[in-house]
A and B are shown apart, each in its own frame.
Chain A
Amino acid sequence: MHEWALAEAVIATAKRAAREKKLRRITEITVKLGELQQIERTVFEFALEQILAQEDALVRHAKVVLETERARFRCRACHHEWAFETEHFAPEIAEAIHFVPEIAHAYVRCPSCRSPDFEVIAGRGVWLASLKGEE
C-alpha cells in the first residue's frame, strides 16, 4: 500500500497547480505510470478514489486517467538501449525497485557490456502529465 503515498502526492500536486492556474474545479488529471516502479494499478486507483472522496470541490469530481509508460534504459558506456522486464528479478529485488526506482542501479546491468552506468530514459515512476479544469 505504498501506492497510497504517491496517490496523495498526485492529488496534492494537482491542487497546487490548479491554484496557480486559478482553476475553480479540476475536471481531469492525467497520470503517467512508469513501468519501472511497477505501481499496482488497482491499488493506486483505489487509493485515488478514497483520497478524492475526502477532498473539497476543487478536485473531488476530477476524472483520473492513468497511462502506462514502458521503461527503457540507455547505457552510458556503450550506448546500448533496452527495455525493462520485471520477470527477470527475484521478488525482493522487484519490490526494492518498486519503492525507490533508482535502486535499479544496484541490481540491473547493461545486457551488452555489464555496466551499471545507465540512464532511465523513459518510464521511471509516477508523473503528473496534464491537468484540465474550469476557471
Chain B
Amino acid sequence: MDPRLAIIAERLKSIKKIIAVAAGKGGVGKSTVATGLALVLSKMGYKVGLLDLDFYGPSTHVILGLSEEIQPTEERGIVPPKVHGIEFMSLVFYTRKNPAPLRGPDLTNALIELLAITRWGELDFLIVDMPPGMGDTTLDAIRLLKNPSFLVVTTPSRVAYETVSRLIALLSELSIPILGVIENMRRPSDRVRLSLGVRVIGELPFDEELEDALGDPERFLQTEFARRLREVASAFKES
C-alpha cells in the first residue's frame, strides 16, 4: 500500500480554496497569471500559497524572483518558505538548474510525494500553476487536490481556443468547477472574440512592461497587467 495517499487530505486541510490555473495550451500566460494572482491576493491581505506543478518547465520562481539560498525548512515534513509573503513550493528547490526528465508514473510519484510532505499554513488560497497539456499532472491534480476550482487562461487566438475548449470540455464532463476564463495578451489589433461557453472574468492586455518586471514583485504589481488582475481577484474572492 502506498502510505502517502491517506495523508494528502490532512495536509490540505488548512487551505480554504484551491485554484488551479490551467489552459491545456502552452505559453498563454498560466504561470504569469498564477504568480500575479498570488501576489495580488497576498497584497489584498489574504494568506496565499503558490504551488508550481510544471515539473518540466517550472517558471513561477523566476517571476517571483526567488533567490537561490531560500529553501523549505524541515519541521515534521517540509514547510514552504515565505517568498514576498507567499508560501511557495516548487520542485526547483530540489532539481535546482537541472532538467527533470520524468515519465508519467514518475511525475505522479513526485507530485504525490510533494503533497504528502508539504505542510502548508492556514491559507485562504492555494494557487496552483499547472503545466500545459491534460495528461498526468492535470488528472492527478483533479484526483488529489481537494475540490480544486479551475481558472482557465487563453489568448485571443483561434489556435488557443481550439485546445482551451478541449480542457473546458474535460472539466465540465468531470463536473470540476470553473471559476472562469481569463483572456490574456490582448492587443488593440486583436479582432477575434471568445466563444468558449464559459464566463470571461478578465481581459489582460499584452503588457510591454512585463518582461522587465519579472523577478521584481513590487515592480510587477505596478504593471497594467497586475492592476487588471487585481480587478479579477476582487471579483472572485467572494465566490
Contact = CB atoms under 8 A, between A and B. Distances in A.
A126 interface: yes
A103 B100 contact: yes
23 contacts: A1-B77, A2-B76, A4-B76, A5-B7, A5-B119, A12-B10, A13-B2, A13-B6, A99-B94, A99-B113, A99-B117, A100-B94, A100-B110, A102-B102, A102-B110, A102-B113, A103-B91, A106-B94, A117-B101, A126-B4, A127-B1, A128-B1, A128-B2
Contacts of A31: 3
A65 B99 CA distance: 37
Contact-size category for B: 20 to 34
B7 A12 contact: yes
Nearest to B117: A5
B106 interface: yes
Contacts of B3: 6, 9-10, 12-14, 31, 126-128
Interface string A1-42: 110111011101110110000000000000100000000000
A106 B99 contact: yes
A89 interface: no
A100 B91 CA distance: 9
Interface of A: 1-2, 4-6, 8-10, 12-14, 16-17, 31, 47, 96-97, 99-103, 105-107, 116-117, 124-128
Contacts of A116: 99, 101
Contacts, number: 100
Interface in B1-17: 1-7, 10
A31 to B, nearest CB: 8
Given A10-B3, A12-B3, A106-B100, A2 B113 contact: no
Interface string B79-99: 000000000000101111011
